[in-house]
Amino acid sequence: MQMTSKSRKICAFGVRCSRWVTMHGFAFNVNANLDYFNNIIPCGINDKQVTSLNQELGYDLNMDEVKEKVSRNFEKVFSAHLLKEAMPA
């Protein structure tokens, strides 16, 4: 694994409020094809590269394992309980 001090964008968080309804979400680059990011400026940040978990670690990850770890830690940090059927596949 190669470590540098240059920060890179690995995820995005979003909140939308419309007509008294809020929607929240996040995108986490796990095993993403980063070539598409060469054609855009993600979140308007010009001076940061985009990265993914597999690029940072040097190997592809099992998505089911990543989802389980993200869910478990989300529940712990926010004292919440996620409904498994509500999570996207």
Domain count, the chain: 1
> Is pTM beyond 0.85 here?
no
Joined together, the tokens standing for residue 40 give 């855009």
Per the annotation, the verdict on 11 as an active-site residue is no
From first to last of the 89 residues of the chain, give the pLDDT tens digit: 455 558 889 999 899 999 999 999 989 999 999 998 888 888 888 888 899 999 999 999 999 999 999 999 999 999 999 887 755 65
**Is 3 within the bounds of a domain?**
no
Smallest CA-to-CA distance from 55 within 6, 19, 3 is with 3
**Is 2 within the bounds of a domain?**
no
**Is 54 within the bounds of a domain?**
yes
d(CA 55, CA 10): 10
What CATH number did the domain enclosing 75 receive?
A: 3.30.930.10
**Is 39 within the bounds of a domain?**
yes
Give one DSSP letter per residue of 24-65, joined into a string: EEEEE-SS--GGGGGGS-GGG-TT-EE--HHHHHTS---HHH
**Is 12 within the bounds of a domain?**
yes
Helix or strand or coil: residue 2?
A: coil
Range of the domain at 50: 8-86
**Is 1 within the bounds of a domain?**
no
**Is 48 within the bounds of a domain?**
yes
Q: Which of 43, 57, 63, 82 is catalytic?
A: 43
